[in-house]
Every structure is written in C-alpha cells, then in structure tokens.
Chain A
Amino acid sequence: MDLEKFKVHGEPLIYGAMISIALATIGIIVGLTVFKKWGYLWREWLTTVDHKRIGVMYILAALLMLFRGGIDAIMMRLQTAAPDMKFLDAQHYNEVFTTHGLIMILFMAMPFIIGLMNVIIPLQIGARDVAFPRLNAVSFWLFFFGAMLLNISFVIGGSPDAGWSAYFPLASIEFSPTVGNNYYSLALQISGIGTLITGINFIVTILKMRAPGMKLMKMPMFTWSVLITNIIIVFAFPVLTVALALMMFDRLFGSQFFTMANGGMDMLWANLFWVWGHPEVYIVVLPAFGIYSEIIATFSKKNLYGYTSMVFSMLIISLLSFLVWAHHFYTMGQGVMVNSFFSITTMAIAVPTGVKIFNWLFTLRKGRITFTTPMLYTLAFIPIFTIGGVTGVMLAMASADYQYHNTMFLVAHFHYVLIPGAVFAVIAGFHYWFPKVFGFRLNERLGKHAFWWIIISFNVTFFPLFLLGLMGMTRRMYTYSEETGFGPLNMLSFAGALGLAIGFVILVYNIYWSTRYEPRDTTGDPWDARTLEWATNSPIPAYNFAVVPKVQTRDALWSAKQDNIPLFTEEITKIHMPSNTGKPFILGVVFFFFGFFLVFSMWIPAIVAGVGIILVMAAMSFDRDHGFYIPAKEVIATEKKLRGETV
C-alpha cells in the first residue's frame, strides 16, 4: 500500500487547512458529546424524512460551501491583485479556480435552490410532504457525501486542477496524473444521482399532489419555475452521468473515449459536458426567476403581470437551453454553419428572458412597493442581470467571440449573470421565507447593511473584469507582469472581493442576532403575502396543514384575505405521516466510501462498498414501515399552541 499518494506536500496553506479541518472535527465531536446531542442529531436530523428539515440541511450545507468557495475566490483575487504575486503557485492556483467553480455551482447554488424548493414547494401547493419522502432523504445524503468527497480532495491526494469544465486532453491521466480529476468524476457522479432523484421526486410532487382546485395555470410562479427546472434536471443530468462515467473509465481503466490516439476524441467531452452544462445554468436561474416573481408580487401588492407569458417564456427557455451548448467553444473549429446555428439559438434566449424582465417591471408599475430586504435584492437584480444578459448577447456573436473567448470579459459576464440570477435570488428567498421556517424575521436593518455591502462590492469586484478582458487579460492565468497594465484594475477587484466577504459575514451575523433578539411572529403571514405557504402557522408544524386547503384562484391566500373565500373548510382528522429512517444516511456513507476507494483505485474495498450499496438498497426494499398517524386531538392542540392560544 503506497501511502505517498494520499499526501499533499509543500504548501503551508494546505497544512493550515488540514489542521483546521482536524480541529473542527474534534470540536464537533467533543461538542456533541459534552452537550449530549448525538441522539438529538440522529433522531431529529440525520434520519428525518421531513421536507422542511431536509431543506434546512440543504441550505446549511450551501451556506458552508458558500464560505468555502468564497475563500477560494479571495485567494484568487489576492494572487492576481498585483503583478508577480507569490501567494499561490501555478498548481495551487489551478486547484483553487477549479474547486471554486465546482463548489459555487454544484455545491452552493444548486443545493441552496433545492433547499428552498424542499421547504416551500409542498407548502405552496398545499401538500403534506413531497411524493417520496424517503427518496428525498436519499437525495440529500447523496448530495452531501458527494460534496464531502470533493472537499476532502484538498487535503487527501490533491484537488482537481483542470478547470470546472475539465476539458480533455488536459483532464486525462496523461496530463493530470494526480487523483484530483478522479475526485471530480466520482464526487460529481454521487451528488448528481442525488439531484436526478430530486428531479423525479418534485415532478411527481407538483403534478400529483396539488391541493384540490389548484389547476396547473393556478400554480404560484415559483412552483411553475421549479416544475420546469426539474424537467430540465431529468433530461440534462443523465448526460452528465454518462460523461462522468466515460471520464472515469478513461482515467481508471484506460479506455479511449477522450484520448488523443487510438480513435479517441477530446472534443466529445466538451460537447457532452456542455450539453449538460448549459441547461445547468438554467437549472439554477429559472427557480431564481420564480423566487423574484413571488417577491415582486408580494411587495408591490399586485398580482404578477403576464402570468401566462411568464410560464410560456420559461418553457421556451427550457427548450432553447438544450440547443445552445456549442456557444461555449466557438473557437474550437466546428465551422461556420454550426457556429451560426448556435449563435442564433443563443441570441433567441434573450427574447423570452426579456419578456420576463418586462413582466416584472409592469408588475412594479403603480404598485404599492415596500422596500424590504428581499425586495431590495430583487430590485438590484433587474439592472445587474440585464448587464449580464446584454454582454451575453455580445458573446453570443460567434465572430465577435473570437475576441472575447476565455478572457476576463467572459468571467465578468457569467458572474454578472449567475450572482444576480442565482445568489441574490437565494439570499432574497432566504430572507423572504426565513420567518416561515423559524417563526421570526431576519433583522431588516442588518439585512439592508449586508445588502448595500454586497451590491456595491459585487460591482466593484466584477465590473473591472469586463475592462480587463477587453484589455486582453485571459482567464485562469495565475500571474502577469507589470508591463501589461492589469495591476490597478485587479487591485480594485480584490478590494471589492473583501467587501463582498464583509457583506456575507454581516448576513450570517444577522442570523445569529435575529435568533436572539428579533420578535417572534405569531400570524404566520408577516409580509402580508399571497400564496399558500403563508396560510399555515410558522414555524410550520410537521404535518404542514391541519386541513388540506381548497384552492379557487391563483393567489389563493390573497383572495382568501381580500374576498373572504375560506381556504380550510373541512374538519381536522387524523393525519398520516411517514416515519423516519436511518437508511438514506447509511446509503450516503457507503457511497462516500465507494467513491473514495475508486478515487485511489483500491479495487477490493471498492467492490466491498459496491456490494454494500446493493445490500442497503435491498434492505430499503424490505422495509414494511407504512408510517404512522397523528391523532386529531394532537393536531388541534398543536394548532392552538402555535397560534399562541393557551390549551
């Protein structure tokens, strides 16, 4: 057994990371033991099948990953802040930009969105849970252990270093001989399977479990966006599954898919990756559109302008998202006809997106707007995202793209799209739905402080990158000489990155502060909102709704409040609930070891773990637990307690 390959040498930063990981692990274990919380952790969280708790765990993991990816970002900005910096070497810089991209998209933006989806969707459609609560737990634990597998790569064996797009031949065993890209293929595979299961689960939930009366065209816009997103997931993720499997075969078993000799084809990887990769962008952006639609309608006190056109524009976007992938590599020689086709389809996406922007603006028009924190993020999103969109159209022109391709202009463009189009949205959604889950709002004053830090620093960080790109600075270069003149703008960008960090620290501090001091909300509807999730108590009881609501209009709660249409007409009866199970967690752990052993080509342990996976799945099949009932009396008591009445 060669222990040498597990070690990562030479970098004081990595030794620091090792020590901090070890200390954090010891701290968590000691803390749990001292406060006797192991049982609580196992019973209430690790074995839960409750969509709200699973959602909260997704969001917690996403926040952790936000800081991990954020530290990567600050290290990159520091390394390029001045000419000839010696903070990171080339190899370490490669690893940092690779994991930054992977973590921010796959382990921050996606789980944050899936977390909000988990918490809100069953409530918005008036359901008691998702269609398959146990599978939902499987999804979470596969995502979680996939993310963990990628994170340990940093200290055991080395991180992937061929960019988040891992182009071949660079990512092949020949040019990337460390285990880094093995981690890439296996960590993404494991969490990707989890995402695919989420996709199936939510399609069934939304199509089959809506409250009586909620026709498809009466669904809230966030629910629509999530439905369309999950359809994209179900069609796009299998392509990633195959691409990653082929990558694994190439790297571990010497197959010839993406090699340079023996009939391999490196461009096949680029095509497969982006056939998944471009729809992936819409997987994170469409739910964001849904979140913004909810927030704009609520805080303008108007119903959403152009509901039908909103739905159809999302459907068109989802269709087009599969027809634009080659615009990621116009310069790689596929010829004029192909480039023209993808140029046109790419520009066509601007049309439905523009429709949505105008619908939001018309919703705001003559509305009674209140400037709460979630609304501020939404209002900032519109102009900033438009800059991202317009520069996207510039990049979409194949002939012009030869100038911009792989420059910092591109980097600036996708940060201008993804940060307002996903990060601002999840932060806005986080502030908006926080009182629903925890029963109190986040402090508005601190929230607005964080908002201004984030919004200003964002532009200070990324606007200079447009200019740097036009000046000729390519992406992914770890340093440059003074004569290039890139120095001052990069320094400005670094200052902005620090400002962003401050903003996010205030945001997290706000959670702590509000937990301690913010007054509790007993109404369940602190924003005077419009959709069903606000019709139940906050914090939400385990069964969501004591009585399943009856829906007649689009903004069901709003019409209930305005026109006195009763939502809950039936008597409270006993409620069926799924029971908790530890098997999804165990499955995640076994998958983690399976992936880890494969990364290091340890065949016998990998086979044992593989058999373990099949055994856990068989054990799940033999489960004959059909859940339990909460008696009506208990439901009535809980309802009274949550409304602040004495029993």
Chain B
Amino acid sequence: MKIDASKPLEYATEENSNKIFGFWVFLGAEIPLFATLFTVYLVMVDRFASGPSGKEIFEIGPVLIETFLLLSSSFTIGLAIHAMRHGYKKAMMVFMGITLLMGLAFIGIEITEFFTYVHEGATLQTSGFLSSLFVLLGTHGAHVSFGFLWGSVIMYQIWRQGINPATANKAFIFSLFWHFLDVVWIFIFSFVYLKGLM
C-alpha cells in the first residue's frame, strides 16, 4: 500500500480515499431511504383512525433530552476525529466513548418512549399514522443502535492497533455516519415532534 504523507491518515491510501467516497455515495442512498419514510409519514400523519393523534401522545420533555444527547454526541465525535488527526489516541478514545454512551442513552430514552406509547394504547397495529411513526423512528433508532455496535468494534480496533491508516479511515467514516444520523434526527424533531405538537 502506497501511503501519501501529504494527506490526513484517513485519506492516505487510494483504497482509503475510495472508501470515503463510497461512503458518501452510500449516504446519498440513505437520503432517498429516509425521504421515502418521511413521505410515508406525512401521507399518514392525519390517518389515525380510532387511535390517538400525535398531539395526544407526544411529550416534549424526553424528546428535548434525546435531541440534546444526539446533537452533543455529534460534537464529541467531531472532537474525537480532531484528536485522531493530532494522533492523540487516548483523547480520541475518550471522546468516542462519550459519543457512544450518549448514543446509548438516546436509544434508552427512545425505547422508554415506545413503551409509554404502547402503554397508552398506541401500537404499531393501531393506525396508519402510528405504523408510519414507529417505522420512521424505529429505522432511525436501528441506525443509532447499529452505529453503537459498529463504533464499539472500531474503538476496540483502535485500542488494540492504535491510530493507523486503516483504523483512522474506519473512524472517519463512522463519524460521517454519526453526523448523518444527527441530520436525520433534526428532521424528525421538526417534522414529527414540533409539527405534531403544534
């Protein structure tokens, strides 16, 4: 593998730079995926049949905490990549660890939310609106959960192998993924919760 020292580690080989570009294309595919889910949700939003509407079940409190956690974790993963660029392995591990913990807390709150909805009689089977709500939130939540597992594997590899072109590349790509989940959440916050509460 030829290593180009003039570039940051994560871009240093041709394979690395192809992987980053490929991941951007993958994120390009994630956009129509979530766009379709949002479209389905917006089509279904008033079709709550005999079940509850959004206004009746949404609570702003937990949602604000979720938003705070996810947005902050996007900042800490940025710090982790910054530390990685300077070769500070320990700082990078700490920031990445904080990121993943905040992700985990986010998932915990989301699961609690789901339990509350179901407890109030708002289930996946109740209405078109609730089906689309659960699947939209669930897809995002599944991405965060997958990100937690993936990030843990990468942290383990950095712990064992240190920061090298291969691990730096993985961590950088993971950070792109994590930022993307944040962007999707901003849309969920605005178009699902804020719009639903209005």
Contact = CB atoms under 8 A, between A and B. Distances in A.
Interface stretch (A6-14, A80-88, A142-150, A254-262): A254-262
B157 A265 contact: no
A207 interface: yes
Contacts of B26: 200
B4 to A, nearest CB: 15
Given A234-B28, A249-B131, A261-B49, A622 B21 contact: no
Contact of B30 (A131, A208, A238, A265): A238
Contact of A246 (B30, B40, B170): B40
B21 A208 contact: yes
Interface string B22-65: 10011011101100110010011001111100000000000000
B190 interface: no
Contacts of A208: 17-18, 21
Contacts of A261: 49
B129 interface: yes
Contact of B37 (A242, A259, A268, A624): A242
Contact of A622 (B30, B130, B131, B157): B157
Contacts of A234: 25, 28-29
A41 interface: no
By secondary structure, the B interface counts as helix
A501 B55 CA distance: 61
Interface in B141-171: 149-150, 153-154, 157, 166, 170
Contact of B153 (A200, A241, A621): A621
A131 B18 contact: yes
B33 A256 contact: no
Contacts of B21: 204, 207-208
B141 to A, nearest CB: 14
Contact of A262 (B1, B40, B127): B127
B29 A263 contact: no
Contact of A268 (B32, B43, B50): B43
Contact of A253 (B30, B125, B127): B125
Interface in B115-131: 124-131
B36 A262 contact: no
B22 A201 contact: yes
Nearest to B130: A256
- Most chain A Cβ neighbours within 10 Å, of B26, B50, B149: B26
A255 B125 CA distance: 4
Interface in A610-630: 614, 618, 621-622, 624, 626
A371 to B, nearest CB: 41
B135 interface: yes
B143 to A, nearest CB: 13
Contacts of A355: none
A200 B25 contact: yes
A200 B149 CA distance: 23
B18 A132 contact: yes
Contacts of A132: 18-19, 22
B127 to A, nearest CB: 4
B166 A624 contact: yes
Interface residues of A, number: 44
A208 B127 CA distance: 47
B33 A614 contact: no
Contacts of B132: 257
Contacts of B131: 246, 249, 255-257, 264
A204 B18 contact: yes
A209 B47 CA distance: 49
B178 to A, nearest CB: 16
A259 B26 CA distance: 32
A265 B25 contact: no
Contacts of A204: 18, 21-22, 25
Contact of B29 (A235, A257, A272, A576): A235
A357 interface: no
A237 interface: yes
B125 A257 contact: no
A262 B49 contact: yes
B49 A200 contact: no
B18 A253 contact: no
Interface in A194-213: 196, 199-201, 203-204, 207-209
A245 interface: yes
A242 B18 contact: no
B110 to A, nearest CB: 18
Contacts of B125: 253-256
A371 B49 CA distance: 65
A443 to B, nearest CB: 41
B132 to A, nearest CB: 7
B125 to A, nearest CB: 4
A113 B48 CA distance: 44
A318 B178 CA distance: 31
A239 interface: yes
Interface string A465-494: 000000000000000000000000000000
A338 to B, nearest CB: 15
B151 to A, nearest CB: 11
B111 to A, nearest CB: 17
Contacts of A209: 18
A238 B40 contact: no
A268 to B, nearest CB: 6
B155 to A, nearest CB: 12
Contacts of B36: 238-239, 242-243, 272, 275
A242 B51 CA distance: 24
Contact of A237 (B29, B129, B134): B29
Interface string A222-255: 0000000000001111110111011001000111
Interface of B: 1, 17-19, 21-22, 25-26, 28-30, 32-33, 36-37, 40, 43-44, 47-51, 124-132, 134-135, 149-150, 153-154, 157, 166, 170
8 contacts: A238-B29, A238-B32, A239-B32, A242-B33, A249-B131, A257-B128, A275-B36, A618-B149
Interface of A: 131-132, 196, 199-201, 203-204, 207-209, 234-239, 241-243, 245-246, 249, 253-257, 259, 261-265, 268, 272, 275, 576, 614, 618, 621-622, 624, 626
Given A246-B40, A263-B49, 12 more contacts: A200-B22, A204-B21, A204-B22, A209-B18, A234-B29, A242-B37, A246-B135, A249-B124, A256-B126, A256-B128, A272-B36, A621-B157
Which 6 pairs of residues, A with B, have the shortest CB-CB distance? A263-B47, A263-B128, A238-B33, A255-B131, A263-B49, A242-B36
